[in-house]
Amino acid sequence: MSNDEIIRVYVGVDRSQLLAVPVLEYSIKRHTTANVEVIPMLDLPVPVPADPRNGQRTGFSFSRFCIPKLAGYKGKAIYMDADMLVLRDIRELWNIPFDGAKIIIQQEVKHTEDTTQKVGAPKVRKKQCAVMLLDCDRLHWDVEDIVHGMDQGRYDYDQLMSELIILDEEHVKYGVPFEWNSLEHWDTDTRLIHYTDVYTQPWSACGNKFAWVWFSEVRRMLADKTLTEASIREEIKLGYFRPSLIRDIKYRHLIPAFLHKMWDTKNAALDRLSGYVPHKAVYEAKRERQRVIKDYEAQLLAKTAADLPTSNEAGR
């Protein structure tokens, strides 16, 4: 890459994780001398599918499809989720060759035997598009057209998000190493750690095995005044972060390892006593989505029943 090239990183985020974005940005810039621009994509005006079963699973599921247009259909871009930290020079990711592809996504999934055993983990770790490289020059995506494709029945949500059916297979390269999207795992080879399990993210739950990586980054930011304690307390006040988070950031690294479990148990108790509900807004939105889907399916069933011929009509 040239010295004046800008590495554009578009970050998918909802309001509950908004303060995680500057922590991610800090981690990126701390490990590189490259010119990096981090662009949070919060509350983008994306269309709502006619069939609620095809609706966004998060507040930013469709945001990644907006990136080429946001970039003016020029150059390259990286997509990341907000719940990540970068631990190496991002140029290593940026310089992965496209080899004729239009996007580059995750190559493989590792360490599933360990990470699926933790509390709050899914039964299976699937490949993700949570870290993507996009050739914006060649991606003529428009989110309106993409959602319209679901409304026309050409594909559904899972085919869009998991299979990237809107691209020919030859235009998808599986070239992002697991180390650049390390799902709930850290070791000395980790380039990017992804706190993908909402139930155990360090800012919302106690006892994440690798929360210390995130706490260390935040302590650096507090030390050089890139982040203030007041801003963390504001997120706690709004219910987005857990009340015990300040205690963890300040003191957990000073506690002997054999006392960590007791420390986490006490913090979790303090959070419960305060009335804190992890990801309250996220789960409320999920319940509302399930309610809308249930009503929609009931309407479909009623319409199908109404369209069926009666026994008298069938006998004519």
What confidence tens digit (pLDDT) does each residue in 29-70 have? 999 999 999 999 998 999 999 999 999 988 899 999 999 999
Mean pLDDT of the chain: 91
What pLDDT shows up at residue 123? Answer: 55
Structure tokens at 65: 């499809």
pLDDT digits (tens, 9 = 90+) for 65-90: 999 999 999 999 999 999 999 999 99
Rounded to whole angstroms, the Cα distance separating 286 from 288 reads 5
CA distances from 108 to 88, 124, 127, 134 (A): 19, 13, 6, 18
Nearest alpha-carbon partner for 96 in 81, 110, 76: 76
Structure confidence at residue 3 as a pLDDT band (50, 70, 90) = low
Kindly report, residue by residue over 171-230, the tens digit of the pLDDT.
999 999 999 999 999 999 999 999 998 889 999 999 999 999 999 999 999 999 999 999
Rg (CA), the chain: 22
pTM for the model stands at 0.89
Between the alpha carbon of residue 218 and those of residues 9, 131, 224, 226, the distances in Å are: 20, 22, 10, 9
Domains of the chain and CATH, by start: 6-281 (3.90.550.10)
* Terminal alpha carbon distance of the chain: 75
- 139-182: pLDDT as tens digits: 999 999 999 999 999 999 999 988 889 999 999 999 999 999 99
Q: How far is CA 113 from CA 4, 110, 183, 185, in A?
A: 43, 8, 12, 11
Question: Hunting for tokens 């870290």 — which residue is that?
Answer: 131
